[in-house]
Structure 1
Amino acid sequence: MQSTQSIALIQRFSVKGLHGYKDLSIDFSGHVTIIVAENGMGKTTLLNILNAFLTRRFHRLAAFSFNSIECQFSGQLLPLVLERSMLGDGYNAQDGALHELAESASISENELSDFITGIYRPDRFQSLKSHPIVRQLYYSTELDWEQVETALDDIYAGLDNSFSDSAKQVSAEVLRCVGETEIVFLPTYRRVERPQLRPRQNRTPRQAAMQGHIDSARTNPLDDIVFGLSDVEDKLIELSDEIERRSNQGYRTLSTRILDEMLKGSARQETVTTSDLPDVKSLSRFLNRVTRHEQRFGGVFEDIENLYATGAIENADNWFLRYFLSRLAGVIEQTREMEQKVEQFVSVCNSYLTLSSDEKVLAFDPQTLRVVVEDLWAKRIIGLESLSSGEKQIVSLMARLYLSSKKKIVLIDEPELSLSLDWQRKVLPDIARSGSVVQLLAITHSPFVYDNELDGCARALKITRNEVKNA
C-alpha cells in the first residue's frame, strides 16, 4: 500500500458561506484521509460539492447555497477559487436535457458533459460524427443525426451561457491539475444490483449492429459509470477474452518467428538455464489455454513435465526445446499482469466472503479464464445476483478498483453501509492498496472503518460558523 503520508494531489478543500453562515474545510493527510463527522454537519453536502468541482460539473453547484469554493492542488502556489457569482443560475442536470440524453444513451453525465464542454462546438458536429460519444448517441437512441445535433447544440448553449469566463478558466485549471485521473464518487446510496440500462435483447437492430464498435471505441468501460453487477461480469469476460487473444496471438507469432529462424539457420545452441524457462504451473496454464481444442496435446505436456521433474530438460539433445521454452517465457509473462489483476480481485473479494457464514467464494480458473461464484455448502455454482447486499457492494467496488489500472481519486460517503464490523475494518485499507487509487477520501461516523493501519489518517471536519448579519 502507498504511504498514507505521501503527497496528495488535493491538499485542501473548502466551501465558504455554505447556507450563508458555515465554512467547511478538509486538510488532506496524504494518500488517505478519513473525515469523522456526525450526521447534520454538512459532510455529504461537502462531498457532493467536491465531486462536482473535481469533475467540473459546475452546473450541479447551482443547487447549493454558498459564497465560494477553494481548492489547493499539489504543486500550485495559490488555491483555485470559484465564486458562486461566477456560475449564474446554472443548469439543472438532474431534470434537464443533459441528464435525460445521457441516460437514454447509457452514457454517464460526466462523460457527456465533459465532451460537450471540452470538445463539442455547434459548428463542429459533422467533423465529430465519428467520435465515440456522438456515435453512441445515434446508435443507442432513436434520434436521427439531425436530432442528435440539435440536442447537443441546445445543451451546449445551456451550459456555456450559464458560466462566466472566470468559471470557465477555473474549469480549465481543474482539468489541468486532475488530468486523466478518474474521480470515483460513491455516495451514501450505492445501488449495485441494477441491470444494464438497455439489455442487449431489447436493443433495436441499429443498436445491436453497432454496439461492438461503440464498446471498442470507449477507452475504458469502467470510467464514470455506476458500476453494477452486469458491469463486473462484462469486465471479467472482457479481461478473459483479452488474455486469451494475447496468448494465442503471442504463441502464433513466436512459432512463426522460430520457424523463420530455423529456415534461415539463425537458430543456434546457446546457454539457456532452467531459470530462463517458464515454471511448470505457468507453462501448463498457458499451453492448455492456447491448445484447449487439441485433444492430443495432453500427452505432449506430460512429456515436458517429466523432463522438468527429472532434470533431463538440461540435456544437450534438448537444446532446441529449451530455446523454444525460453522464448515462450516472454510470451507467458506478457499476459501475467492481466491474470494477476483478476487473481488479486478474486483474492480480495474472498477475504470478505470467507469472513461470512455463507461459505461462498469466488473461483478463478486460469485455464478457462472464467470467474465464478461457488456455494461450498451446496457444492454448486451460483450467480453474482445470489450474493447478499453487502457482498454485492464489495464485489462491485473491488472490481472497479482492482480490474482497472486507470488512476483514481475515490470519494466515499459512509463506507460502513451494509458492512459487518469485520468488513468495515478491512474496506478502506483494501481500497487504498488496490494500486489504482492515488487518493482516497472517506467520510464516516463509524470508528471501525479506521480501526486499522489507517488510524492516523482520521481527522475531524473543520467547521466555522459565522454570524449572519441582518440586512
Structure 2
Amino acid sequence: MTISNSPIQRFSITNLHGERNVVIDFANTVKILIAENGAGKTTVLNALYNLIAGNFNKLRKTNFSQISVTFSSGREIFLTQEDLRWKVNDAQIPPGIFQHFKAFLPLEHIQEIYDLFCQGNRSVLKASPYFAEARKRMNVDEANLISWIEILVRELSPLNLQGQRLIEARSVIQEEFPFDLIYLPTYRRIEEDLRNLGETIPDRGIDRNFIQFGMSDVTARFNEITSEIKNSSIRWFARVNGQMLTQLITGVNVDDDMRNSLSSAEALRIVLDRVGDNVSPENKQHIMSLIHNRRILDNASLSYFMANLVKVYEQQKENDSAIKKFTAICNMYLVDKEVVYNESSVEIDIVRKKNKASVMIETLSSGEKQIISLFSRLFLEKHRSVAIFFDEPELSLSLEWQKNLLPHIVQSGICGFLFCTTHSPFIFQNDLRPYTSDLVEYITEL
C-alpha cells in the first residue's frame, strides 16, 4: 500500500454555520474522518470537494465566513463569501444570450452552468441537473444548448464576473492538485440536489433513476473499452496486410524476435479471434495447428504475418490488463456471481457462478452496483491519477466489504488522494486505521 505526503497541508473553514471553526491537517494522501450522523462530516467533505473542483456556486451555499487551503508547496488560497458572489451589474452586460438565459433560469443556476463549462469537462456538464433543467425550461436540444453556453461564456468572460480572487484560486488549484476528481456522495445527497431543482419524483423513483443512470455509465464503459480493442485489432490487421505487400515485393525477412514471438500460442489464438470474419474459422484452425507443431516456421510469409499480429496483442495489453484488474477485484466481492472477460470475443459479462447464465446489470443489489460502478470508474477509464472524495462508503455494503473497500482503492495504483467520511468503524478496521481521525478533533466551537 503506497501512501505518500499529501499535496494538501491544511484545510480550514472559519465560522461554519456561524458556530464553529474547522481546521484539518493532512499529513498523508489518505484521510478518513469518522463522526456520527448530523456531526457535519458531509458538509466538510463537500466544502473541500467543491473548493478543489471549482464548484464555487455550490460552495457559496455553505454558510461560512472564510474557507482556505494550504498546499504542501506553501501556496495558499482563501476565499470569503463575498469572493464567491458574481459581480453582476445588468447595466454592464450588453443585450444578448445572458438575458435570454436569465428569462428562464435563476442567476445561481446560470452561474452553476457557467462554472461547469469553464471546468472543461463536457461529460460532467451534460450530466448536471442544472443542464437538464436548462434544456427543459428553454426547450432546446443538447447540441444547441452547448452552443448557447459557449456564446454565454464568451459574452461574460471579458466582464470578469467571478472576480480576480476566484480566477487566481482556480489557477493555483490546477497547478497544485493535478488529479482527475471522483466525487461519491450518498444517494440522499443526490435526492437533495434534485429537490433543490424543484423535482417532485418520489423517493423510490429518485433512487432507482440514479442507480440506473450510474449503471448505464458502467455499460458504456464496458462498450467503450471493448470497442477500442476490437477496432484496434481490425486496424492493425489492415496495416499488416499492407506491410505484407512490401515484404512480398522486396523479400520476406523473419528475424529472431519474430520467430520467438510465434511460441506464444495463446496470444496468437486470441488475436486471430479478434480479427473476426477477416479470417475464416477453418483457416484459423489450420494456422493454430501450424503454430502448435512449429511448422509455421517453414512458411516465411505466414510467420511474418502472424508475428506482426502478436504486436497487435502487445499494443492492446494496457486495456486488457485494465479489464483483468477490474474483473479480479470485483470478483473478490461478488458471492454468487462473477465478472468474466472473454479475451477472444472481447466481451465483459456478469454471470451466475452456478450455471454461467448472464445477469442483467440493472438487477444487481445496491451493494453490487456500488462496487462495480466504483471500480469500473477506477480501472476502465483513462486517468492520470484520481482524487476521490467519498461520503459514507459503508452504505449498502456488508461488514466484510466495508473492511476491504478503501484498502483496495488505495492499492489500485490509480488513487493519488482519498478523503473519506464515515460513521462505520468497519471502514477503517484495516491498514488505514492510522489515517483515521475523529472529526471533533478538528472543530473549535464558537
- TM-score band, normalised by the shorter chain? 0.7 to 0.9
* Mapped partners of 1:398, 1:185: distance in 2: 13
Deviations, residues 112-148 of structure 1 (Å, cap 9, x unaligned) = 52424789xxxxxxxxxxxxx9xx9899934896996
Deviations, residues 148-192 of structure 1 (Å, cap 9, x unaligned) = 64896399759977643223322332233334x322111122799
Please report the TM-score for the alignment, with normalisation by the length of structure 2.
0.77
Change in 2 beyond 3 A, CA 1:259/1:154: closer
- The residue identity in structure 1 corresponding to 2:368 is E
- The residue identity in structure 1 corresponding to 2:281 is G
Change in 2 beyond 3 A, CA 1:99/1:330: farther
Change in 2 beyond 3 A, CA 1:152/1:446: farther
Aligned to 1:207: none
Choose from 340, 346, 368 the match for 1:363: 340
- The residue identity in structure 2 corresponding to 1:459 is S
Q: Is the 8 Å Cα contact of residues 405 and 436 (structure 1) preserved in structure 2? A: no
Deviations, residues 348-392 of structure 1 (Å, cap 9, x unaligned) = 1111113xxxx2222222222222221234652221011011111
Aligned to 2:389: 411
Change in 2 beyond 3 A, CA 1:250/1:147: closer
Change in 2 beyond 3 A, CA 1:57/1:278: farther
1:228 aligned counterpart, secondary structure: helix
Aligned sequence identity (%): 30
- The residue identity in structure 2 corresponding to 1:113 is D
Q: 1:27-42 to 2 correspondence within 5 Å?
A: 27-42=25-40
Change in 2 beyond 3 A, CA 1:421/1:140: farther
Change in 2 beyond 3 A, CA 1:22/1:321: same
1:352 aligned counterpart, secondary structure: coil
Change in 2 beyond 3 A, CA 1:86/1:291: closer
Q: Is the 8 Å Cα contact of residues 56 and 115 (structure 2) preserved in structure 1? A: no
Q: Is the 8 Å Cα contact of residues 289 and 368 (structure 1) preserved in structure 2? A: yes
- The residue identity in structure 2 corresponding to 1:445 is H
Residue 413 of structure 1, CA deviation:
0.8
Is 1:393 aligned to residue 370 of structure 2? Answer: yes
- The residue identity in structure 1 corresponding to 2:428 is Y
- The residue identity in structure 1 corresponding to 2:20 is K
Deviations, residues 404-426 of structure 1 (Å, cap 9, x unaligned) = 12122100011111000111111
Is 1:78 aligned to residue 57 of structure 2? Answer: no
Change in 2 beyond 3 A, CA 1:329/1:11: farther
Aligned to 1:348: 329
Change in 2 beyond 3 A, CA 1:443/1:191: closer
1:382 aligned counterpart, secondary structure: coil
Residue 273 of structure 1, CA deviation:
6.7
Question: Quick check: 148-157 or 277-286, which moved more?
Answer: 148-157
Deviations, residues 248-275 of structure 1 (Å, cap 9, x unaligned) = 101110121132122123x335334754
Is 1:236 aligned to residue 215 of structure 2? Answer: no
Aligned to 2:84: 87
Unaligned 5+ segments in structure 2 are 89-103, 122-130, 191-210
Is 1:452 aligned to residue 438 of structure 2? Answer: no
2:332 aligned counterpart, secondary structure: helix
* Mapped partners of 2:339, 2:255: distance in 1: 44
Change in 2 beyond 3 A, CA 1:398/1:150: closer
Q: Is the 8 Å Cα contact of residues 14 and 20 (structure 2) preserved in structure 1? A: yes
Q: Is the 8 Å Cα contact of residues 98 and 113 (structure 1) preserved in structure 2? A: no
Q: How many residues align?
A: 399
Q: Is the 8 Å Cα contact of residues 265 and 292 (structure 2) preserved in structure 1? A: no
Greater helix proportion: 2
Is 1:288 aligned to residue 273 of structure 2? Answer: yes
Change in 2 beyond 3 A, CA 1:45/1:155: farther
* Mapped partners of 1:232, 1:16: distance in 2: 39
Residue 434 of structure 1, CA deviation:
2.9
Q: Is the 8 Å Cα contact of residues 54 and 119 (structure 2) preserved in structure 1? A: no
1:405 aligned counterpart, secondary structure: coil
Change in 2 beyond 3 A, CA 1:364/1:292: farther
Root mean square deviation, CA, Å: 3.8
Choose from 235, 248, 253 the match for 1:262: 248
Change in 2 beyond 3 A, CA 1:289/1:402: same
Is 1:464 aligned to residue 443 of structure 2? Answer: yes
Q: Is the 8 Å Cα contact of residues 23 and 465 (structure 1) preserved in structure 2? A: yes
